[in-house]
Amino acid sequence: MKKRALISVSDKTGVVEFARDLKDLGFEIISTGGTSKVLAENGIDVIGISEITDFPECLDGRVKTLHPNIYAGILAVRDNKEHMTQIETLNVQTIDIVAINLYPFKETILKENPSFEEAIENIDIGGPSMIRASAKNWQDVAVIVDPMDYAKVIQELKAGNISRETKLDLAIKVFEYTSAYDTLICNYLQNSRGSKSSLPNKFTVTYEKVQDLRYGENSHQQASFYKEIGNFKNTLAYAKQLHGKELSFNNINDANATLDIIKEFGYDQPVAVAVKHANPCGVGIGKTLIEAYTKCYEADPISIFGGIVALNREVDEQTAMELSKIFLEIIIAPSFSKEAMEILTKKLNLRLLELNDLAVPNSNILDFKKVAGGLLVQNLDTHLYDEEILEVVTKRKPTKEEMEQLIFAWKVVKHVKSNGIALVKNNATIGIGPGQTNRITALELAISYAKDNVKGSVMGSDAFFPFDDCVRLAGKSGITAIIQPGGSIRDEDSIKACDELDIAMVFTKMRHFKH
């Protein structure tokens, strides 16, 4: 039988050259719709799909390749005499190469405000079936879904035959492609139901590789960075690296933590955030960016060394001068002035990331935690508190200034590993106690960072106080107000201690554990 290739692609990149090379190698080309037209316009003889099926394309092109003459030609096992006898009896010719990429469903749903009907119309039916059939019969059929693979296939054909190894690689790529395609459709349909949607009984996700990493959390671990498919322009995956060496696994994890914190503050005032090992070590608000950064730095000038800094304003010359004085892994900002770039790029390894959108992420983004043999899935914690249920539970109400500082502390402690404590004073963190096995130790750690500056500060705790010991230590240290979720069966003990010590306390009735 004469060798045949079936080509039907939505992405026309390189398809004319590929088809021409196949023709030169003696292949007949079968094609459909728009691909057939493009090939014919470029002088390449094409056999129309209807000539193979003896059935017209119909239903606006929804039905054209779903026919035994196509699938028998693809699925016939060449070494199976019975198969070959059957297709000869049925007058079916084999198809040796299948080059298909699917209707652009992803591109459609990523457009601005696509209609539901438009998205549905871009669900491919025949394409996935043909490439899956081809991948199943990979020993006999080379199936290509990525235009980048055209050159390799042609190279091997010119050398003799397409190798089994290449055919298997191409087949694996098909199932990566179709599984991602179907997952996108499923997730889109789930999300289209809005509040009616819930986590499904069978959970699948699809991500696209951004880059391979040098190694993972440790040098003996292999790692890559993937991005979620969707309009998530305010996430790290869409940041533009302007300078510095490539990001590492730990860089990405810590940078994401830094962005999570700075997004809590919006754009109302200049803010600077420093993170080390995924925990904040300094957060500052100022009238100017340099003032915000100075407060952030002075919060913990030791821990910030080798850390990551995010700012919510364009980095100016003055701030860049200060940033350049210490070793930092990454600086993230909406933009960098020309003068700032000249200063910061003198440090060859310093990564500069530009991210214009620092809005709080969409709550539809899911948060995963992998455990051995399973996966924990939840909605991302994008909520801070409900204004209407904030409750002052002590006799003394916080002053206006104390309340502002308490909200600041709450924004920070939300992103401190549990058990977490954040001390705030004059629009800056002065002590953070992260990741302790008990809350009193977390508070002691925060106070040790604050040193003599603790007097007159306010405290945020990511969880309730089961005993009054934290309140009493706070009073002894000069802390004047506390914000915490409340909800302990012994809340009254802590409230009573606050009243004794003239400490104002606010319950958010919402916790922010971060394990």
Unique residue bearing structure tokens 């728009």? 34
Active-site entry in 136, 152, 173, 509: 136
Which helix (DSSP H) or strand (DSSP E) does residue 323 occupy? helix 317-323
Residue 90, sorted as left (phi over 0), alpha (psi -120 to 50) or beta, turns out to be: alpha
Q: Residues 209, 225: contact at Cβ < 8 Å?
A: yes
Please indicate whether residue 83 is annotated as part of the active site: no
The two three-digit tokens of residue 382, written as one number: 């994008």
The two three-digit tokens of residue 133, written as one number: 């059939």
Please indicate whether residue 202 is annotated as part of the active site: no
Is residue 387 exposed (0-12), middle (13-18) or buried (19+ Cβ within 10 Å)? exposed
Active-site entry in 83, 152, 277, 347: 277
Neighbours of 328 (CB within 10 A): 20
Give me Rg for the CA atoms of the chain.
30
Bridge partners of 115, per DSSP, are none
Go through 156-170 and write b for each residue having 16 or more CB atoms within 10 A of its CB, e for each that does not.
bbeeeebeeebbeeb
> What are the residue ranges of helices labelled H in 62-200?
68-75, 81-89, 105-109, 116-121, 126-136, 150-159, 164-192
* Complete edge-to-edge strand list for the sheet that includes strand 458-461: 391-392, 504-507, 481-484, 458-461, 421-424, 429-433
Residue 395, sorted as left (phi over 0), alpha (psi -120 to 50) or beta, turns out to be: alpha
Q: Which residues are known to be catalytic? A: 136, 277
